[in-house]
Structure 1
Amino acid sequence: MNNPNREWMYDRLLEDGFINPRFIDRVKIFVEFAKSHPECMDDEKLRCPCNHRKCRNKNILDEFTVMTHLENNGFVPNSYRWHHHGESYIPGASVFDNHQEETSASGETVNSQSHNEF
């Protein structure tokens, strides 16, 4: 399932062929997220999620190299969850969600993340 908050991962290049500044900013956020989960790192290195055949979350590299690889190769296709970088799987949730609470008709506070329509 695509995560609409992560569509930026596949919007790397502008129409003129230059790197999208939004992509670069979000790559920095991704790296900071990965670094905040040292249990998924090898000392100061992290798995490279770029689409190069040697990487694809297998190659463990330093931060600068990972950022360079992502700028040059983009992310591995359909990788909307950062499982290899510390993100646990929560259906329908995103690290960019604001976790706002809603008030139900009965006046109870409901966390929108835990609401299940089914």
Structure 2
Amino acid sequence: LRRLGDRYAAELALAAYESRAAPSWVLDVLDHLPELLNDGNRRSSSVDRAVVDLLEAAVLAPRVGDEFPAVVLSHGRGGLRVQVTEPPVIADASGKADDGQAVRVRLTRADPLERETRFDVVT
């Protein structure tokens, strides 16, 4: 996406250097270019997150029921957000703990099709 923005900037710079008007295809999009680039970045981030979620669930699926060391990152809509230290995974967890607290969590769900990984705090 950055290259797309660079393409328009290069055309504008070239036109200025050559003391001519920029091409209409550049000028027609210029007002909307920041919005297009931001939308593309949002989509790219969403795809990146979906791929990570899928891989985390696939790697952990055989380990449902296992316990892992973790740290509570925050409290959110679905309960806690935890960082499992090994393998490195950030996921939702049920239970009670304070932000920053080291805990043990049990993997209760790892569904690659739903791209979901879920833990319960056990200590």
Question: Normalized per residue, which structure has more helix?
Answer: 2
TM-score, L = length of structure 2: 0.26
Structure (1/2) with the larger strand percentage: 2
